[in-house]
């Protein structure tokens, strides 16, 4: 139908015939990952491997950006803690090390996996919350975020190994063929860090108290793990219970591999079993909870 606009007539006087479509009460399309019920699909991580690489190096660069020492700060914590423990525990308290291993080297080897694990868990705990702007804008496997936080700490572990080599040369400790077990022990430490890290990261999204509690629990965890003392100090009838701490087998395994000592296969088997159980259970919980991350954050 033709309409004629008379001279001087207002445009507002024309009848409005704009049709607004009715919006559906339910979402037409829901974007969610396969296996939202908790099934783990590692193909998602492989498909987004470039994003994992980017987030890992972002964490490394941001942490040491505009610092005077840069990545050398990785060495400060274990070296300083080794010096303090050597002075007070090795010197004053006379805490024994394993055999004739010098206490500074003994303590540093214990601090290597512990520093990696504690740093990875602390970084993972707040990683999802700190990436809220990314999560609410685009879909990608949320698991990549805490995994990237753990992967960034692997860079720190590799740098800290340089100091270990120097200490072994200074104290005249020559590695044996047992050192070939180090990659497997490192994988075990990574699986444990990913498991615990993803679990606390998922809980921290819903319960922000977790981000406050985790540093306290991690700090206490150092004293229930054989970081600065030998497992031989634990009463023998308690060692089976003590070995349920998966870090016991991992830390003792690092020392056995580097000092050529016999492996405690029982403790190492318990550590591996607990680590695998924690890893898969944590990923299951994370996958169950990740569908609500964007709404909760």
Crossing angle of the two packed helices 103-125 and 246-259, in degrees rounded to 10: 140
Residues 6+ apart with CB under 8 A from 99: 259, 261
Q: The whole model's pTM is what?
A: 0.83
Q: Coil, helix or strand for 128? A: helix
State yes or no: pLDDT of 1 exceeds 50: no
Please give the Cα distance from 157 to 74 (Å, whole number). 8
pLDDT of residue 267: 94
pLDDT of residue 14: 46
pLDDT grade, residue 8 (50/70/90)?
A: very low
What six digits make up the tokens of 90?
Answer: 């090795």
Q: Coil, helix or strand for 295? A: helix
108-149 pLDDT, tens per residue? Answer: 999 999 999 999 999 999 999 888 888 888 888 889 999 999
pLDDT grade, residue 39 (50/70/90)?
A: low
Within-domain flag for 30: no
pLDDT grade, residue 181 (50/70/90)?
A: very high
Among 43-47, 85-89, 174-178, 240-244, the range of highest mean pLDDT: 240-244
Q: How far is C-alpha 128 from the chain's CA centre?
A: 12
How many domains are contained in the chain? 1
Within-domain flag for 115: yes
pLDDT of residue 134: 85
78-94 pLDDT, tens per residue? Answer: 888 888 888 887 776 67
Residues 6+ apart with CB under 8 A from 278: 192, 195, 196, 199, 246
Within-domain flag for 186: yes
Q: Which uninterrupted H or E stretch holds 203?
A: helix 182-206
State yes or no: pLDDT of 95 exceeds 90: no
pLDDT grade, residue 67 (50/70/90)?
A: low
Q: Measuring CA to CA, which residue among 255, 224, 228 is closest to residue 91?
A: 228
pLDDT of residue 2: 45
Within-domain flag for 140: yes
Q: Which uninterrupted H or E stretch holds 293?
A: helix 293-296
On whether the CB atoms of residues 140 and 51 are closer than 8 A, the answer is yes
Within-domain flag for 28: no
Q: How far is C-alpha 11 from the chain's CA centre?
A: 64
Q: Which residue has the higher pLDDT, 12 or 154?
A: 154
Helices and strands, number each (H, E), in the chain: 13, 0
Within-domain flag for 293: no
> What does DSSP assign to residue 262?
P
Within-domain flag for 230: yes
pLDDT of residue 97: 76
Please give the Cα distance from 269 to 137 (Å, whole number). 43
**How many C-beta neighbours within 10 Å does residue 196 have?**
26
Structural domain span for residue 71: 41-284
Please give the Cα distance from 138 to 39 (Å, whole number). 21
What six digits make up the tokens of 40?
Answer: 């783990």
State yes or no: pLDDT of 107 exceeds 80: yes
Within-domain flag for 16: no
In the block, residue with structure tokens 């492989």: 46
191-213 pLDDT, tens per residue? Answer: 999 999 999 999 999 888 888 99
On whether the CB atoms of residues 197 and 146 are closer than 8 A, the answer is yes
Please give the Cα distance from 41 to 196 (Å, whole number). 19
Write b or e for each residue in 128-164: b if 16 or more Cβ atoms lie within 10 A of its Cβ, otherwise e.
Answer: bbbbeeebeeeebbbbbbbbbbbbbbbbbbeebeebb
State yes or no: pLDDT of 25 exceeds 70: no
On whether the CB atoms of residues 275 and 246 are closer than 8 A, the answer is yes
């Amino acid at each position: 139908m033709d309409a004629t606009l008379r001279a001087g007539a207002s445009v507002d006087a024309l009848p409005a015939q704009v049709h607004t479509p009715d919006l559906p009460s339910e979402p037409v399309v829901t974007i969610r990952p396969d296996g939202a019920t908790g099934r783990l699909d590692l193909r998602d991580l492989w498909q987004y491997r470039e994003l994992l690489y980017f987030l890992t190096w972002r964490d490394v660069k941001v942490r040491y950006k505009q610092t005077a020492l840069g990545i050398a700060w990785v060495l400060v914590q274990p070296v300083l803690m080794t010096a303090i423990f050597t002075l007070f525990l090795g010197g004053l308290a006379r805490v024994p090390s394993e055999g004739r291993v010098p206490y500074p080297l003994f303590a540093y080897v214990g601090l290597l996996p512990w520093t990696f694990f504690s740093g990875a868990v602390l970084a993972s705990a707040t990683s999802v919350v700190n990436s809220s702007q990314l999560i609410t804008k685009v879909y990608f496997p949320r698991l990549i975020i805490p995994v990237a936080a753990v992967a960034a700490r692997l860079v720190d572990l590799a740098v800290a190994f340089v100091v270990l080599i120097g200490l072994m040369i200074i104290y005249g400790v020559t590695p044996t063929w047992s050192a070939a077990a180090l990659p497997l022990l490192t994988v075990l430490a990574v699986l444990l860090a990913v498991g615990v890290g993803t679990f606390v990261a998922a809980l921290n999204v819903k319960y922000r108290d977790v981000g406050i509690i985790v540093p306290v629990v991690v700090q206490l965890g150092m004293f229930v793990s054989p970081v600065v003392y030998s497992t031989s100090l634990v009463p023998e009838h308690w060692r089976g219970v003590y070995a349920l701490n998966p870090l016991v087998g991992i830390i003792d395994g690092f020392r056995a591999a580097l000092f050529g000592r016999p492996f405690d296969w029982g403790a190492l088997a318990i550590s591996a079993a607990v680590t695998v159980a924690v890893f898969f259970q944590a990923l299951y919980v994370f996958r169950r909870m990740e569908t609500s991350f964007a709404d909760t954050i």
